[in-house]
Amino acid sequence: MSSETIEHDPGSPVLLEEIRRRADDPGRRVLFTNATVVTMDPELGTLERSDVLVEGDSIAQVGPGLEAGDAVVVDATGTIITPGFVDTHRHAWQSQLRRIMPDVDDLVDYVTTTLAGYAPLYEPRDMYVGTRLAALSAIDSGITCMLDFSHNSRSREHSDAAVRALVDSGVRGVHAAMGPHFGAWDQQWPGDLARLREEYADGSDRMLTLRVGALATDEIAGPSLAYGPELARVARELDIGVSVDAVFGTASSRSVRAWADQRLLGPHVTLIHATGLTDEAWKLIGDTGTTVSLAPTSDAQIGLETAIPAVDEALAVGVRPGLSIDVEVALAGDMFTQMRALHTVQRMRAVNAAYGAETEPVRIGVHDVLDFATLQGARTNGLAGVTGSLTPGKRADLLVIGAEDLNNMPLNDPVGTVVLGADARNITAVLVNGEPRKWGGRVLDVDLADLREQVHVSRDRLLAQARARR
């Protein structure tokens, strides 16, 4: 390794070239200097004019005046460095159908159009294209860890395509596999999970982890996809977590009660949405340490159960939730939107509840929603010890955000700037596992023209087949 120190502005191609030149060195050191560092580590807090040292794939040190030594030095003056965002639930395979139904009326409309209509038409190549598009877009908007709730696993080839897309994108991927709701499929799930774990997710050094995907009840697609003792046994034998989708209303509340009685809840289980649950269900969730993934825009826009993200209910029982994107067929695909929606809706709800009352409910703040989008998201995905904060020893999943760009200057409150001011255009650099995945405002290692062609071919074929079936 050269002892020469290179200093330049973040985003410089010279810096990127030097970082990549040293890629084969497991001890490669990259030092970001003079940034405002929002660590999201409760003990480290937010540090002004501080440095972040990345060594290999991990955060080595955080603090002011770190020694450069033989590191590649990135002058990060005028930037905010944060952990990468963590998406706890997204149906990535649908991405070539983005915003195809922006004014979806309700859950039945979504299920009928997407899961019963388009999903059975997907071939493995469509799974790959949609999932890769979602993962690359996630990186572009600062999401470094994404749980792909892949509920269109019609064959082992479909699953392989979805997993390869995550791996090829460079995102820290969590593949939550589930069989499809409707249409013909090979019935290889959940038995095929053992093969997927062995081939793609066996080992602590892997960038991909695996989870069982399931539904809360048998109302939509029958009992085979509903969480219960059998799927819990599969997860236990494979030592993987469980993500349960469509958790809302009285039927799901009864399921929560049954799971608690059967001792199927706990930190390894994530309940997605969790809208309209009973007080008893929430108490059981809190008592068992079960994690929760909120989908703020999905709940509100599609109108899931109460249509109100259940952040107050979660916090009341001691659960700090993760955040999720859900379905890009109708929703935005970035974490900035989720944070702002939750921040706005909860504070509106709190003020409205206090109208005419003697006391005003507690309002969440920008630090809360950034915590949900980073550290709590990592915990929800079962990766709290790996990512979610800039804690020395964790993997180097981080963002460099321009704090003095036109839409952010002047920097007054760094957390407020990230949550309420910034967007994807301000993200100068993204590192995942210590590797640059976005640099100079551009996602790396992707031929956009080729990707665009694949996306259009896939989308056009799906739409043509859907029209032919009508």
Record the tokens describing residue 397, joined without a space.
């999943």
CATH classification of the domain holding 334: 3.20.20.140
Which element (helix H / strand E) includes 417? none
Angle at 227 between CA 96 and CA 325, to 5 degrees: 30
What is the biggest distance separating any 2 CA atoms in the chain, rounded to whole angstroms?
A: 68
- Residue 182: domain span: 85-380
Whether 446 is in a domain gets the answer: no
Whether 60 is in a domain gets the answer: yes
Q: Give dist(CA 370, CA 372) in Å, integer.
A: 5
Whether 367 is in a domain gets the answer: yes
Is 249 in the same domain as 302?
Answer: yes
Is 237 in the same domain as 173?
Answer: yes
Whether 451 is in a domain gets the answer: no
Is 353 in the same domain as 271?
Answer: yes
Is 20 in the same domain as 114?
Answer: no
Is 96 in the same domain as 126?
Answer: yes
Q: Give dist(CA 411, CA 422) in Å, integer.
A: 11
Last residue of a domain, one of 380, 412, 447: 380
Record the tokens describing residue 264, joined without a space.
């199927």
Is 13 in the same domain as 148?
Answer: no
Q: What share of the chain is helix, strand, coil (3-state, %, to 5)?
A: 40, 25, 40
Is 73 in the same domain as 14?
Answer: yes
Q: How many domains does the structure of the chain reveal?
A: 2
Is 63 in the same domain as 105?
Answer: no
Q: pLDDT 10s digit of each residue in the chain, 470 long?
A: 343 444 457 778 889 999 999 989 999 999 999 999 999 999 999 999 999 999 999 999 999 999 989 999 999 999 999 999 999 999 999 999 999 999 998 999 999 999 999 999 999 999 999 999 999 999 999 999 999 999 999 999 999 999 999 999 999 999 999 999 999 999 999 999 999 999 998 665 689 999 999 999 998 878 899 999 999 999 999 999 999 999 999 999 999 999 999 999 999 999 999 999 999 999 999 999 999 999 999 999 999 999 999 999 999 999 999 999 999 999 999 999 999 999 999 999 898 887 776 667 789 999 999 999 999 999 999 999 999 999 999 999 999 999 999 999 999 999 999 999 999 999 999 999 999 999 999 999 999 999 999 999 999 999 999 999 87
